[in-house]
Amino acid sequence: MSMKTLCQTPAKLILTGEHAVLFGAPALSMAIDLPTRCYMDFSPYTSSLESSCLEIELSDFNEKQSYPLSVWQQRVIEIETRFALYEKQSLSIQSVLQQPVDLILLTFQQFHNAYRLNPGHWTVKIQSHQLTEKGLGSSASVIISLLQSLYSHHELNYSDIELLSMAQRVESHQHGSSSGLDPTTVLKGGLLRYQQGSPLQKLTSHPFHGWIIDTGSPESTTGQAVNQVHRDFNHQHPIWTEFKNVAQLIEQAWQDSNATELKEAIKQNQQLLERIGVVPPTVQRFIHTLNQSSESAAKICGAGSVTGEKAGIVLCISQHAPEALCQEYGYDYYPLKFSEKGSRCEMVL
Ligand SMILES: Nc1ncnc2c1ncn2[C@@H]1O[C@H](COP(=O)(O)OP(=O)(O)OP(=O)(O)O)[C@@H](O)[C@H]1O
Ligand SMILES: N[C@@H](CCO)C(=O)O
């Protein structure tokens, strides 16, 4: 019998810890109400897995194509070969996944390797919000929505740890290395304190007014930015202690609901991000203007960019939207909408 599911997964926004989380610092990250939707439809075959077919529609990229099992498996072999070359430093990270569909095929293959995909016709449609590839964790939302859909279709009991370790493995092919922060945030929802090697903590949400400001798609990918930071700053570099300290200030201010301290710490966090070279000059100027006022505090909230003038999404904590300045720079802005809910999957008729 055929079965249909819809999985809706929020986006993520990092309050503190982008880059630093990969060097052992704590991160505070929240799920936000910008859903990625994954529609999955399965019709079983009575014949063998070999005749299975995967039909993928990526609405945001205007792509729709069918992949017989042998074709997608060959394509994943090529992806894994490129990833192995990347790990030997013979290929750049942005050459590993060459097209958006590669991420989908790789996720299916990881699931298949672990659990063996049921034979049949699989149809997948993915639809995101308008702010993908701007630091809000779109690849993590795609991966989590796909994996959750696959677990549902196979009626498998799974632990979050199993699902997240698979997601982190897939995400490494996109980002070069992954702390697991993005997949964890979009799976669980809410506001999380995440630090590699420490237990995950859920923090209480507070009604701080925030805005997400779109400075445009970064010219470099997250993978490139992560790699450049790793090349320029080793694990022993003292700047990571400064990141840890500022994360502590932000966490304390958040827990105390202290807006003044929160804004001050966000400004310090932004200065550190500028020092690691991930904030382009135009975005630095924009943020400096906002940060001169005691009313507002802004920082980039994704990996930023190591080339060009755009840095993806900037978070601005302030009562009122920075309308005039956004207009001057030609940036769109939206109210920050927190999502207490994480990723969820339902059957559809
Ligand atoms: N709606 C979508 N449909 C298909 N693929 C998508 C979609 N959204 C994102 N992707 C895939 O994810 C990639 C972008 O992922 P990436 O995580 O680098 O970007 P991001 O949104 O800036 O998030 P991050 O905060 O992790 O940097 C795209 O190049 C594409 O392959
Ligand atoms: N979001 C990435 C680091 C770049 O900010 C990760 O947690 O792996």
Whose alpha carbon is nearest atom 29 of ligand 1? Answer: 100
CA distance 143 to 186: 10
Of all ligands present, the nearest one to the C-alpha of 278 is 2
- Tokens representing 112 are 């298949």
Contact 182 CB / ligand 1 (< 6 Å): yes
Pocket test for ligand 2, best of 21, 30, 227, 269 (most atoms within 8 A of CB): 21
CA distance 23 to 237: 10
Contact 12 CB / ligand 2 (< 6 Å): no
CA distance 339 to 73: 36
Name all domains of the chain by residue range, CATH numbers in brackets: 3-201+339-348 (3.30.230.10), 208-335 (3.30.70.890)
How many Cβ atoms sit within 10 Å of the Cβ of residue 69?
19
Contact 179 CB / ligand 2 (< 6 Å): yes
List all residues 6 or more positions away from 58 whose beta carbon is below 8 Å from its beta carbon.
64, 100, 101, 104, 126
Residue 108: its H or E element: helix 100-115
Whose alpha carbon is nearest atom 10 of ligand 1? Answer: 139
Contact 222 CB / ligand 1 (< 6 Å): yes
Inter-residue contact 105 to 117 (CB < 8 Å): no
Nearest atom in ligand 2 to the alpha carbon of residue 18 is 5
Contact 301 CB / ligand 1 (< 6 Å): no
> What's the first-to-final CA gap in the chain, in angstroms?
12
CA distance 207 to 184: 23
Strand partners, 191: 30, 203
CA of 63 to the centre of ligand 2 (A): 27
Residue 203: its H or E element: strand 201-203
CA distance 5 to 349: 8
Contact 175 CB / ligand 2 (< 6 Å): yes
Per-residue pLDDT tens, the chain, 349 aa: give them: 789 999 999 999 999 999 999 999 999 999 999 999 999 999 998 767 667 899 999 999 999 999 999 999 999 999 999 999 999 999 999 999 999 999 999 999 999 999 999 999 999 999 999 999 999 999 999 999 999 999 999 999 999 999 999 999 999 999 998 899 999 999 999 999 999 999 999 998 777 899 999 999 999 999 999 999 999 999 999 999 999 999 999 999 999 999 999 999 999 999 999 999 999 999 999 999 999 999 999 999 999 999 999 999 999 999 999 999 999 999 999 999 999 999 999 999 8
